[in-house]
Structure 1
């Protein structure tokens, strides 16, 4: 057996969203990879935990890699053209430390921001693990900025707080993973996924999208080059939030359904269409898999949300119908978007 083969712990198929993200990441290798995610932690010595122990933090990152097999994955193309994810037995942390404490305050702040941006936009080589890198910036006066940057192929938003919890628990015990309860590997979810009734899912989506004549495009002529996403935040005050939650509960609706229905009405107004198809992100964690709530990996999926607006219908009736339609599709939300598109 070759040394390379000995280094491989597992060879796994891809989840549906992994296939989609991988396609977009390799389709245009020259631009920004918008599926590179970054978490920034501000660490200070006056937090009550004492001065930062950088060796312990690095050991904690190494412990994360040992504990969660999904973090040791890389993606390589087979001779057939298909892609697979390879999980290595051992991966060293991608770690660097940068001391900015000697710079004047204004220069220090500007350089720290530059490094954060550079780290966020630097592409990963998807064939070389780990697809997660760590940068620790020393800013002086006991202040550090810790950058944890990874590719979205590895894990989803649900996984982020799980990793943060494990990271700081490992920091406290010197990276000893034996002191933590074992977690189920991501491969168990992929095994469950392979056992689902694909034909039944195809039929369900075929019925749901029957007679869709065209896509719902807000800006048909827009440039489709990848760009870093922006955010627009808006908030309801406590009184409006409580009233909305109470109204949804009294009418047997989830808040998710209310938001989806409101978005469908916005799209109908903008596009002039009454038959709306948009994207819906689902958490994808099947309750049938024991321990799935504590597993790290990419479980989410993007599926179509179709809603036909009937002008004579009340808002409450519209939302109840939308919720009923989505409930019927819950068992089939594991299917990949490309397969759903081919079926429709």
Structure 2
């Protein structure tokens, strides 16, 4: 992985520290660069109806212009602490393809999910628009967890589609609100008392023990996560919710 900052500061908009979570994700991403990066995330958006790909791509460009954290390069070599250098502009990583059936579309998505990002070369978000025949398309969004989490992806997709709709019907769609700079969140984090936070977590987790969900693996090589679906009856679902409320935790924790 090569780190080649600009010869001067003309291409850099800002230089920001990493959040604690980003520091951990960067460590794992760099730990074994020969293995699949399990912090590569993917979202599939099925689109039905007439679509103008060129306008959707322009909407993606506007998305990058709005959000500085999508333009970050993560640098660590020869630095005391890793940083994210936000570039003023990055090209949208946009591809278009065709798939005759669901298997071909799935193969395209799988190949994109397996391709590692160069963390020093933004953007760490790429788009592949797959034509499925007729008026059906599949939009594949692949990103690194360093720039987006699961809560953010639906917001990003909604904003992308709003920007697209605004291009199709100027004036008919309400303008998007101003973006709150990501550096504001980092400033808020920096203002927290770390000793107090650590003490609060130690007290909250006192007596807690990890739950073994599977046998201990013989290898430390990361593997892609798998989805297992378990369907509960309505009565059992209500009971799980009630248990969570009584213990002050979420259903996910239960």
TM-score by length of 1: 0.64
Pairwise CA RMSD: 2.7
Q: 1:171 to 1:197 in 2, by over 3 A?
A: same
* 8 Å contact kept, 1:78–1:84: no
**Displacement of 1:29 after TM fit?**
0.5
Task: Give unpaired runs (5+ residues) of structure 1.
Answer: 46-50, 263-344
**Separation in structure 1 between the aligned mates of residue 93 and residue 158 of structure 2, nearest angstrom:** 20
Select the residue among 188, 204, 211 that pairs with 2:184: 188
Provide the residue aligned with 1:269 in structure 2: none
Q: Secondary structure at the match of 2:167?
A: coil
Deviation track 1:208-241 (CA, whole Å, cap 9, x = no partner) reads 66799x9766634532210000111213222332
Provide the residue aligned with 1:219 in structure 2: 215
**Separation in structure 2 between the aligned mates of residue 71 and residue 234 of structure 1, nearest angstrom:** 35
Q: Secondary structure at the match of 1:182?
A: coil
Q: 1:178 to 1:28 in 2, by over 3 A?
A: farther
* 8 Å contact kept, 1:34–1:229: yes
Task: Give unpaired runs (5+ residues) of structure 2.
Answer: 1-5
Select the residue among 137, 143, 153 that pairs with 1:144: 137
Q: 1:36 to 1:182 in 2, by over 3 A?
A: same
Report how many residues are paired.
245
Select the residue among 99, 124, 135 that pairs with 1:131: 124
**Displacement of 1:39 after TM fit?**
0.7
Deviation track 1:113-150 (CA, whole Å, cap 9, x = no partner) reads 22111001100000001000011111212221111110
Provide the residue aligned with 1:120 in structure 2: 113
Q: Secondary structure at the match of 1:71?
A: helix
Provide the residue aligned with 1:77 in structure 2: 76
* 8 Å contact kept, 1:72–1:87: yes
* 8 Å contact kept, 1:96–1:134: yes
Deviation track 1:263-297 (CA, whole Å, cap 9, x = no partner) reads xxxxxxxxxxxxxxxxxxxxxxxxxxxxxxxxxxx
Give the structure with the larger helix fraction.
1
**Separation in structure 2 between the aligned mates of residue 138 and residue 38 of structure 1, nearest angstrom:** 18
TM-score by length of 2: 0.85
* 8 Å contact kept, 1:245–1:255: no
**Displacement of 1:3 after TM fit?**
5.7
